[in-house]
């Protein structure tokens, strides 16, 4: 076992104009799912932190463990196939040492989760209004009527038209993007300290996406709360995030301030990612640039750097030894043996 | 691209779909799809974009015969399929497929994904129980998944992996036409590129026809031949992609293109996007006249009164907007041109793009476009 | 009724395997595990009766009728001098078997009807549900009694009549669940693939109604045991010399003052079994609530 992310040390560097107390601190998180084929190592030693008032983004390959990381923050990884180790400190308290009642009091109230696939968090047999109002009833003791009225307000906030009528609909009567907005409204109800948003805007068109993200950012600003946003949309990252973590095969391979990542990516995977983005401000080419090859099988990760089989710059060392996450500047780290520049 | 009538594989004629507003409602409901005319030619990739909730999924599902139209006709390969009972629909099922928007809920939670994909093959006789396994493995590899995953249940996958399972299931039937409802929304850009290239190859090599619904305008530009823009149940613009992106005519299309986030760090954060203002309209209670008029920067008198028809203003370029209605222009030429000039902003050419269409070019023919 | 409420909540539990999910949730739920243990012990006793029963349950010893518990006859003997413990062990086979058979037969009628009504909807649904309602109008116990009486006494008639009147519960639960499941996108996905209606019901809808069916089965078995006991108590169920708990209870009842254990012991067994199945059912119901399930570690 190579010593990878010994990066538990908190980099206290980045200039941040907002109060930067540590809100969430994740240390050496590992998540394993046991399946019939063997153990799937979904997350392999991830450490990161989120400061108060900050918007942190996680980007990365499909299946690299982003959602698993997010779910583990609220102890939502099912016990049966899943195993979580490491420390998750929320305001200094280890979430995994709390009682069930304590963690339930935090879920949906202090930390809200916006799930990747809206249908997983919506109950098909209850009305939208009831479900959006639910956290308010549970955590704020709101009456059924108050909760419903507030639900309509929240839905209006995420641009659902005629919310007073729409609260009587069931999830299947909403479009994909509307359901996604419902889960966002649900997450914002209790004004949480930390919003974990797992691909919150994938099903939204650009204008509504912009409005919804704006709304989320306003919440962050107004309540001095923070947001951990997982997204594939590098445009969204560029526009809204303060810091970015790039994940690959269950590891963080690069972390940087958002602008640094775009101007000076240091990991070959990040570079590949940035060059695969289809952009409107460039001419369309025949084929989109892809990163050649397939992501590694989490059942049998290659020795050395997990990106090595696909990496255009790989050297011999990459095949045998895992690169540690090393600082290239005060705010910028990457895990790569080659001193690569974009 | 075939320009003839016979080239249309999928066709909608004045297609409408209405949903009740809620369970016990008797008042008129939501017109999710409102008198749409559309043709998708054989071998074509038609991009479909539009605001969330404007009826894109409903349109796609209706074209596939999964929702009964409330009015109008759907044709597939020339045969009307709109109201066919399920049994008579089955021969068509093998020829057309859909990739659903929500990958998780469109997979049976109790079935291993290998079974789900194999089921699609059995039903249409593309495989038997004994030889399905290698075919399933091939399909999984094609969409970038590990064939060893065939024995897993849907909840054991990541969001992007499930989305690719949905694509594999659609391909398993070997259809002629696939409606892809946001098929790459949950994929990171690199795998997204692989899938988009895969669809492109399928079209090139096997002549597949696609309806490609997406919110990612860059991907749509990349993959499509033509692009249709929907707003509140209606198609407001449809044209070859170069025209849509270089010369968008409808004010909504223009607003949409302006709002695309660009993956470069701009100096001032969170202000680079010009976000459209105004209330999001309600499909329960659509605005009068042009549905877009309350949010439209160019709206003028007739906009609130009369719904503009979809009219061909240049070869193959259709738009439904009073700015391009010849009568309106002669009636109120100054107002229309002024407002367009004053406020018209397009992403690629500055303020005068709206006017770049020579009025003389406008063809009186309305409705039909091919 | 509570069960349909549960059925709603059970819609598509997050896990793939019903039984794996059930097993793990039972383990977590104390009442359910108690119920399960009771049931397993009772079933074992019944299965192993020939091995563990100290006497032949039909062997009469007319010199030792109604004897109190002794080292030889742990629970004493009945009015014909047969060993009560052995009779109760053998009676467990009859009573449990009847309970299970009744339930499975009822489920076998009710589930397909419910599936058909719920998935097809429309006129079919209306007709099938009116029929179900018609059956529900009859007070079941009285009808089972009447039918048993009409068909003549005997266990198979009890089972038949129970199934004939007990399926409605299953039909309603399954219909309710099917109504919800058919709105889910994966059903539409199956239709889009071209899966036939029958196969959709069988392969896609049915597995997703399993969880509430299992809860219902568990609770119904308890009820069926009670019904069998009642009917046997009235003399219409099992015929002598076969033993069943209800039958023992009936005979023992006559001698309640002489040897109280004669009726208490079978009565206790009935209560144990019924409670066991109900605990299990209740526990499953709570534990399978998807909003709680899997969310805690
Ligand atoms: N319950 C489970 N059992 C087995 N494997 C699982 C389970 N849940 C997730 N995995 C696996 O763990 C890995 C990480 O999954 P995760 O959902 O975190 O990915 P992700 O980064 O969110 O990807 P995406 O961008 O596609 O949503 C995947 O390879 C997935 O197949
Ligand atoms: N089964 C239904 N019952 C009632 N209303 C429905 C139903 N399905 C869709 N609708 C409504 O029809 C409208 C269009 O929905 P549709 O799913 O087609 O939108 P969409 O364009 O796909 O949006 P998105 O981009 O958010 O997926 C929405 O207002 C939605 O609420
Ligand atoms: S018709 Fe009028 S309101 Fe509608 S888009 Fe054109 S100018 Fe705007
Ligand atoms: Mg994910
Ligand atoms: Mg949709």
> At A36, which CATH number?
3.40.50.300
- pLDDT value at residue B353: 37
Residue C296 confidence class, pLDDT cut points 50, 70, 90: very low
Decide if C11 and A125 are in contact by the 8 Å CB cutoff.
yes
pLDDT average, residue stretch C268-292: 76
Distance, CA of B141 to CA of B137 (rounded, Å):
6
- Domain B8-224: CATH superfamily is P-loop containing nucleotide triphosphate hydrolases (3.40.50.300)
Residue bearing the bigger pLDDT, B5 or B127:
B127
Where in A258-337 does DSSP place strands (E)? Answer: 326-327, 333-334
The protein residue with its alpha carbon nearest to ligand 1, atom 12, reads A42
Sheet holding A226-230, edge to edge: A111-114, A194-198, A226-230, A55-60, A243-248, A251-257, A333-334, A326-327
Ligand 3 binding site (Cβ under 6 Å of any ligand atom): B 250-251, 290, 292-293, 296, 298-299, 303, 308, 321-323
Alpha carbon B295 to chain centroid, angstroms: 22
- Domain C16-288: CATH superfamily is MetI-like (1.10.3720.10)
Distance, CA of B103 to CA of B164 (rounded, Å):
8
Distance, CA of C96 to CA of C38 (rounded, Å):
13
Number of structural domains in chain A: 1
Closest by alpha carbon to B173, among B95, B111, B64, B90? B95
Q: How far is C235 from chain B (nearest CA, A)?
A: 46
Residue bearing the bigger pLDDT, A227 or C245:
A227
Written in H, E and C, the secondary structure of B186-219 is CCCHHHHHHHHHHHHHHHHHHCCEEEEECCCHHH
- Other Cβ atoms within 10 Å of C139 Cβ, number: 11
Work out the burial of residue A88: count CB atoms within 10 Å of its CB; fewer than 13 is exposed, 13-18 middle, 19 or more buried: buried
Lowest mean pLDDT across A127-131, A206-210, B43-47, B328-332: B328-332
Residue B264 confidence class, pLDDT cut points 50, 70, 90: low
- pLDDT value at residue C248: 77
Which residues in chain A come in under a pLDDT of 50?
A: 1-18
- pLDDT value at residue B131: 87
Mean pLDDT across chain B, nearest whole number?
82
In a domain, A251, yes or no: yes
Domain ranges in chain C are 16-288
Distance, CA of B92 to CA of B176 (rounded, Å):
10
Backbone angles phi, psi at A332, to 5 degrees: -125, 125
Residues 80-119 of B with CB under 8 A from A: 101-105
Q: How far is B65 from chain C (nearest CA, A)?
A: 8
Work out the burial of residue B277: count CB atoms within 10 Å of its CB; fewer than 13 is exposed, 13-18 middle, 19 or more buried: exposed
- Which residues does residue A33 pair with via DSSP β-bridges, in sequence order? A40, A82
Whether the predicted pLDDT of C157 surpasses 50: yes
- Other Cβ atoms within 10 Å of C147 Cβ, number: 17
pLDDT average, residue stretch C252-271: 79
Tokens linked to B41: 């030619």
Q: What's the pLDDT tens digit per position in C163-172?
A: 888 889 899 9
Cβ distance A215 to A201 under 8 Å? Answer: no
Q: Which among C18, C186, C203 has the least Cβ separation from residue B106?
A: C186
B–C CB contacts, 8 A cutoff, strictly below? 78
Distance, CA of B260 to CA of A10 (rounded, Å):
35
Alpha carbon C110 to chain centroid, angstroms: 14
The protein residue with its alpha carbon nearest to ligand 1, atom 3, reads B156
Lowest mean pLDDT across A206-210, A321-325, B314-318, C11-15: C11-15
- pLDDT value at residue C15: 43
Find the farthest-apart pair of alpha carbons in chain C and give their distance in angstroms, rounded: 76
In a domain, A120, yes or no: no
Distance, CA of A90 to CA of A109 (rounded, Å):
13
Q: Which among C14, C186, C193 has the least Cβ separation from residue B120?
A: C193
Whether the predicted pLDDT of B337 surpasses 50: no
Tokens linked to C223: 């009820």
- Put simply, whether B186 touches A (Cβ < 8 Å) is yes
Residue B340 confidence class, pLDDT cut points 50, 70, 90: very low
Whether this model's pTM surpasses 0.90: no
In angstroms, what CA-CA distances link C129 with A172, A330, B74, B164, C4?
25, 71, 35, 41, 15
Whether the predicted pLDDT of C184 surpasses 50: yes
Residues 100-159 of A with CB under 8 A from B: 116-120, 159
Tokens linked to A312: 């255009």
Tokens linked to A15: 């200039």
Please report which helix (H) or strand (E) contains residue C85, including its range: helix C84-120
- pLDDT value at residue C180: 85
- Other Cβ atoms within 10 Å of C172 Cβ, number: 24
Chain A partners within 8 Å of C209 (Cβ): none
- pLDDT value at residue C60: 72
pLDDT average, residue stretch B130-137: 91
Tokens linked to A136: 């308010």
Mean pLDDT across chain C, nearest whole number?
78
Q: Which among A76, A120, A172 has the least Cβ separation from residue C295?
A: A76
Q: To the nearest whole percent, how much of chain B has pLDDT over 70?
A: 79
The closest-lying atom of ligand 2 relative to the alpha carbon of residue B59 is 18
Backbone angles phi, psi at A175, to 5 degrees: -80, 165
pLDDT average, residue stretch B249-275: 70
Closest by alpha carbon to B188, among A229, A291, A62? A62
Chain B partners within 8 Å of C18 (Cβ): 110
- pLDDT value at residue C18: 56
Residue bearing the bigger pLDDT, C66 or B313:
B313
Closest by alpha carbon to A4, among A250, A300, A309? A250
Whether the predicted pLDDT of B48 surpasses 90: yes
Decide if C16 and B109 are in contact by the 8 Å CB cutoff.
yes
Domain ranges in chain B are 8-224, 248-360
- Which residues does residue B74 pair with via DSSP β-bridges, in sequence order? B12
Q: State how beta strands A243-248 and A251-257 pair.
A: antiparallel
- pLDDT value at residue C289: 52
Q: Which residues contact B203 (CB under 8 A, 6 or more apart)?
A: B43, B45, B209, B210
Residue bearing the bigger pLDDT, C289 or B194:
B194
Q: Which residues contact C201 (CB under 8 A, 6 or more apart)?
A: C115, C116, C119, C178
Lowest mean pLDDT across A180-184, B44-48, B241-245, C133-137: C133-137
- Put simply, whether C179 touches A (Cβ < 8 Å) is no
Q: Which residues contact A288 (CB under 8 A, 6 or more apart)?
A: A276, A278, B192, B193, B196, B197, B222
Residue C181 confidence class, pLDDT cut points 50, 70, 90: confident
Whether the predicted pLDDT of B367 surpasses 60: no
Cβ distance B226 to B243 under 8 Å? Answer: no
Chain B partners within 8 Å of C205 (Cβ): none
Q: Which residues contact C151 (CB under 8 A, 6 or more apart)?
A: C157, C160, C161
Total count of residues recorded for chain A: 342
For residue A106, give its domain range: 8-110+190-334
Decide if A75 and C24 are in contact by the 8 Å CB cutoff.
no
According to DSSP H, which parts of chain A are helical?
Answer: 66-73, 100-106, 118-121, 128-140, 144-157, 163-166, 176-188, 206-223, 234-240, 258-263, 268-276, 316-320
- pLDDT value at residue C94: 84
Closest by alpha carbon to A133, among A121, A146, A122, A120? A146
Whether the predicted pLDDT of B330 surpasses 60: no
Token look-up 């400061």 returns A51
Chain A partners within 8 Å of C291 (Cβ): 123
Closest by alpha carbon to B106, among B94, B120, B88, B121? B120
Whether the predicted pLDDT of B216 surpasses 80: yes
Question: What DSSP character marks residue B310?
Answer: P
In angstroms, what CA-CA distances link C240 with A95, C5, C149, C156, C297?
64, 42, 16, 14, 53
Closest by alpha carbon to C234, among C158, C168, C292, C287? C158
Whether the predicted pLDDT of B356 surpasses 80: no
Q: Which among B53, B186, B222 has the least Cβ separation from residue A288?
A: B222
Q: What's the pLDDT tens digit per position in B151-190?
A: 888 888 888 999 999 999 999 999 999 999 999 888 888 8
- pLDDT value at residue B57: 94
- pLDDT value at residue B345: 40
In a domain, A177, yes or no: no
pLDDT average, residue stretch C274-282: 86
In angstroms, what CA-CA distances link A153 with A209, B202, C172?
19, 46, 37
Distance, CA of B231 to CA of B237 (rounded, Å):
9
Decide if A80 and C180 are in contact by the 8 Å CB cutoff.
no
- pLDDT value at residue A342: 59
């Amino acid at each position: 076992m190579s010593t990878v992310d010994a990066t538990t040390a908190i980099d206290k560097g980045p200039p941040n104009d907002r109060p930067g107390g540590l809100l969430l601190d994740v240390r050496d998180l590992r998540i394993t799912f046991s399946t019939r084929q063997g153990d799937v190592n979904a997350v392999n030693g991830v450490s990161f932190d989120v400061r108060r008032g900050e918007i942190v983004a996680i980007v990365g390959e499909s299946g690299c463990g982003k959602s698993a990381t997010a779910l583990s923050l609220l102890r939502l990884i099912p016990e049966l196939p899943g195993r979580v180790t490491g420390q998750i400190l929320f305001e200094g308290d280890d979430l995994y040492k709390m009682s069930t009642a304590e963690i339930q009091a935090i879920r949906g109230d202090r930390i809200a989760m916006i799930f990747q696939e809206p249908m997983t968090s919506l109950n098909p047999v209850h009305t939208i209004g009831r479900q959006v109002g639910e956290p308010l009833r549970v955590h704020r003791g709101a009456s059924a009527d108050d909760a419903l009225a507030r639900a309509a307000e929240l839905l209006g906030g995420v641009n659902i038209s005629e919310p007073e009528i729409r609260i009587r609909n069931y999830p299947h009567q909403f479009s994909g993007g509307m359901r996604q907005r419902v889960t966002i409204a649900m997450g914002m109800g209790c004004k949480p300290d930390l919003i974990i948003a797992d691909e919150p805007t994938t099903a939204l068109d650009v204008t509504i996406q912009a409005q919804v993200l704006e709304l989320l950012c306003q919440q962050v600003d107004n309540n001095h709360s923070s947001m951990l946003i997982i997204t594939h949309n590098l445009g969204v990252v560029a526009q809204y995030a303060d810091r970015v973590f790039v994940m690959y095969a269950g590891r963080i391979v690069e972390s940087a301030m958002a602008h640094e990542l775009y101007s000076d990516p240091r990991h070959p995977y990040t570079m590949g990612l940035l060059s695969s983005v289809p952009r409107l401000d460039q001419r369309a080419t025949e084929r989109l640039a892809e990163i050649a090859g397939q992501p590694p099988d989490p059942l049998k990760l290659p020795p050395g750097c997990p990106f090595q089989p696909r990496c255009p710059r790989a050297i011999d060392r990459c095949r045998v030894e895992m690169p540690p996450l090393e600082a290239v500047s005060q705010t910028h780290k990457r895990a790569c043996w080659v001193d690569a520049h974009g | 691209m075939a320009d003839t009538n016979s080239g249309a594989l999928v066709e909608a004629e004045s297609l409408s779909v209405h949903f009740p507003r809620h369970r016990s409602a008797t008042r008129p409901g939501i017109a999710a799809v409102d008198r749409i005319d559309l043709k998708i030619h054989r071998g074509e990739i038609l991009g479909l974009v539009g605001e969330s909730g404007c009826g894109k999924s409903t349109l796609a599902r209706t074209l596939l015969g999964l929702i009964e139209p409330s009015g109008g006709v759907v044709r597939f390969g020339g045969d009307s399929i709109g109201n066919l009972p399920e049994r008579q629909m089955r021969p068509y099922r093998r020829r057309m497929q859909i990739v659903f928007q929500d990958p998780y809920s469109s997979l049976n939670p109790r079935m291993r994904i290998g079974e789900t994909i194999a089921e699609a093959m059995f039903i249409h006789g593309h495989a038997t129980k004994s030889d399905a396994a290698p075919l399933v493995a091939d399909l999984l590899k094609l969409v970038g998944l590990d064939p060893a995953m065939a024995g897993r249940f849907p909840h054991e996958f990541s969001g992007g992996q499930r989305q690719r399972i949905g694509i594999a299931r659609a391909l398993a039937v070997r259809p002629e036409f696939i409606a892809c409802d946001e098929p790459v929304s949950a994929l990171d850009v690199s795998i997204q590129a692989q899938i988009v290239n895969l669809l492109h190859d399928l079209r090139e090599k096997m002549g597949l026809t696609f309806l490609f619904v997406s919110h990612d305008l860059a991907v749509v530009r990349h993959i499509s031949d033509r692009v249709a823009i929907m707003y509140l149940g209606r198609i407001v613009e449809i044209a070859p992609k170069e025209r849509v992106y270089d010369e968008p005519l409808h004010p909504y299309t223009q607003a949409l293109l302006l709002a695309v986030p660009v993956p470069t760090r701009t100096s001032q954060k969170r202000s680079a996007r010009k976000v459209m203002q105004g209330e999001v309209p309600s499909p329960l209670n659509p605005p009068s006249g042009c549905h877009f008029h309350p949010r439209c920067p160019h709206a003028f008198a007739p906009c609130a009164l009369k719904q503009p028809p979809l009219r061909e203003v240049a070869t193959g370029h259709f738009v439904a907007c009073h700015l391009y209605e010849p009568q309106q222009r002669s009636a109120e030429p100054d107002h229309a041109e002024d407002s367009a000039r004053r406020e018209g902003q397009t992403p690629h050419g500055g303020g005068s793009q709206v006017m770049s269409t020579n009025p003389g070019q406008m063809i009186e023919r309305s409705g039909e476009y091919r | 009724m509570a069960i349909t409420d549960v059925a709603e909540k059970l819609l598509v539990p997050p896990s793939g395997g019903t039984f794996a999910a059930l097993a793990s949730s039972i383990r977590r739920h104390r009442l359910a595990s108690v119920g399960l243990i009771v049931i397993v012990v009772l079933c074992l006793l019944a299965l192993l009766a020939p091995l563990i029963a100290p006497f032949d349950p039909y062997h009469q010893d007319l010199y030792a009728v109604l004897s109190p518990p002794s080292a030889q006859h742990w629970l004493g003997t009945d009015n014909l001098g047969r060993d009560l413990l052995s009779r109760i062990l053998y009676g467990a086979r009859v009573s449990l078997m009847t309970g299970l058979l009744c339930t499975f037969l009822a489920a076998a009628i009710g589930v397909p009807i419910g599936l058909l009504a719920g998935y097809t909807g429309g006129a079919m649904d209306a007709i099938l549900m009116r029929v179900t309602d018609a059956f529900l109008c009859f007070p079941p116990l009285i009808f089972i009694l009447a039918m048993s009486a009409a068909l003549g006494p005997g266990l198979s008639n009890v089972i038949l009549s129970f199934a004939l009147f007990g399926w409605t519960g299953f039909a309603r639960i399954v219909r309710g669940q099917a109504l919800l499941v058919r709105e889910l996108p994966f059903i539409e996905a199956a239709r889009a693939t071209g899966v036939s209606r029958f196969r959709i019901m069988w392969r896609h809808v049915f597995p997703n109604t399993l969880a509430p069916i299992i809860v219902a089965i568990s609770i119904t078995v308890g009820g069926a045991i009670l019904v069998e006991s009642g009917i046997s108590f009235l003399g219409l169920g099992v015929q002598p010399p076969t033993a069943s708990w209800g039958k023992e209870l009936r005979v023992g009842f006559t001698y309640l003052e002489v040897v109280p254990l004669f009726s208490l012991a079978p009565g206790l067994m009935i209560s144990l079994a019924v409670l066991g199945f109900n605990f299990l059912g209740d526990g499953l119901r709570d534990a399978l609530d998807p909003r709680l399930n899997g969310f805690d570690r």
